[in-house]
Structure 1
Amino acid sequence: MAELRTYQSFPTSEAAYELLMLLQEHQIPFETVYERPGFNAILGNSHNSSWLNVRLHPTDFARVRTLEEAASQPEVSGLAPDCYLLHFTDNELFDVLTKADEWSSYDVTLARQLLRDRGHDVSAGVMERLRRQRLHTLARPGKSQTSWIVAGYLMALLGGLLAIFIGWHLYSHQKLLPDGTQRLAFIASDRQHGRNILVLGCLSAVVWLGLGLYVGY
């Protein structure tokens, strides 16, 4: 059985309530884990708050997303006039559909209904094409991490243990896609630099440790 992976993260258990009830209703295996963001060698710690991660089997991602959309059918006629999506342009609404992983299921469903009311084709085929387009975009490695590569080499030569973490991160870090699959986060050349930094960092740490012990004696 494939390992559980994070499907969605919530700032509180109350915010996750509807999703958890949906999973229980349809008897979909899941687990919840409170997690404090760990140290990221590239970005550092962005904040100290903990999040509730809802984890599913990757094969259930698509099914749960469909169930969420079906459970959150909004009534356009009953929306408040100040509902922000009502003021979105067609292109902005299509952007919501394309980047569905960044929006709630309610927002995605409402955007689809608004576009349908405006005469646009938002059939299942169109949604699938947008989903594949999004996955293709997200699967691309990020831009070159030049500044961190330079910093990694400098820290490796100075014996900094941080170089080991930077090298490992550049070489092995993977990002989780909305469909539950994982892809390497950085381009091949950056990964090669990461491997070099990792090896140099380890060698440098051993050398500096040896010098420290020698001087100590």
Structure 2
Amino acid sequence: MSEFITYEKFATVPELKELVELLEANNIPYELEDDVQVFDASFANIQHHRDYRIKLLPSDFDRATELRNNVALSELDKIDPDYYLFGFTDEELIDLISKQDEWSPFDFQLAQKLLKDRGREISSQKINELKEERIEELSEPEKHTAWWIGLGYVFAFLGGLIGIIIGYYIISSKKVLPNGERIYTYSESDRKHGTRILLIAITAIIIGVAFRIINAV
């Protein structure tokens, strides 16, 4: 059974409320949380310094993104002529489009419009290709993990709780792709190291406790 996972985080209430209303209008189930507790959907007694998260079912990620893009498209005529994207080069706009997950739907749509106005329109097919390439890029396992694994082994052999924490984190850590798919953060070989670190740390702790009990007798 699918679980709700974080779709996007917001720092301001107006942006959050806008998306909530869009989801409700299109019958997309969601969950709201802040960094302290489950979110009050009534927006009563809301505090403005928290990190607000909207969670969706993975199967609804693409649909929600498409709806937001459609809303943004209808707002392009209201753009301020001093908006910062007007100063972007063509290459910077293309990079923005290829990394849609890092930008707002409005910026994503405006970047396409600006390129079209400059005679460098990007087709829907090309945008889909860029999206697939981005998914492949984000799907790559975390690199430069040797120091992290080495640190895990050190703490594991020392018999510390930190070794268990590091081992478990390497084994279980996952990241969410823009399409809602959850994948392991670390490669299979790194997760095998995580398993060894976890087992060594647990064994070291058990041995340490056993010695203390024997010495106490």
Partner of 1:188: 188
Report the alpha carbon displacement of residue 25 of structure 1 after superposing the two structures with TM: 1.2
C-alpha separation between the residues in 1 aligned to 2:77 and 2:142? 38
- Match in the other structure for 1:28: 28
User: What RMSD in Å do the two structures reach over aligned CA positions?
Assistant: 1.8
* Structure 1 residue ranges without an equivalent (≥5): 37-48
Check whether the contact 1:4–1:30 (CA below 8 A) recurs between aligned residues: yes
CA drift at 1:27: 1.4
Identity across the alignment (%): 34
Residue 42 of structure 1 aligns with which residue? none
Give per-residue Cα distances to partners, 1:34-70, cap 9 Å, x unaligned. Answer: 236xxxxxxxxxxxx8522111111111111111011
d(CA) in 2 for partners of 1:126, 1:84: 24
**Runs of 4+ in structure 1 displaced over 6 angstroms?**
none
| Counterpart secondary structure, 1:9 | strand
Amino acid at match of 2:60: D
Shift of 1:79: 2.0
Matched with 1:173 is: 173
Q: Distance in 1 between matches of 2:13 and 2:201?
A: 41
Conservation of the 8 A alpha-carbon contact between 1:144 and 1:190: no
| Distance of 1:216 and 1:80 partners within structure 2 | 78
CA contact (8 A) 1:171 1:194 kept: yes
Q: Which residue type is aligned with residue 68 of structure 1?
A: R
1:158 corresponds to which letter in structure 2? L
Q: Residue in 1 aligned with 2:143? A: 143
Pairs within 5 Å for 1:31-180: 31-35=31-35, 50-73=50-73, 74-75=75-76, 78-81=79-82, 83-180=83-180
Aligned-pair CA distance for 1:77? 7.7
The amino acid across from 1:56 in the alignment is: L
Measure how far apart 1:188 and its partner are: 2.6
Q: 1:78 to 1:15 in 2, by over 3 A?
A: closer
| 2:198 counterpart letter in structure 1 | L
Secondary structure at the aligned position of 1:133 is classed as helix
Q: 1:13 to 1:213 in 2, by over 3 A?
A: farther
Query: Offset of 1:194 from its aligned partner?
Result: 0.8
TM-score by length of 1: 0.87
- Alignment size in residue pairs: 204
Aligned mates of 1:66, 1:210 — CA distance in 2: 59
* Structure 2: segments with no counterpart, 5+ residues: 37-48
Tell me which residue corresponds to 2:45. none
Structure 1: how far apart are the matches of 2:80 and 2:12? 26
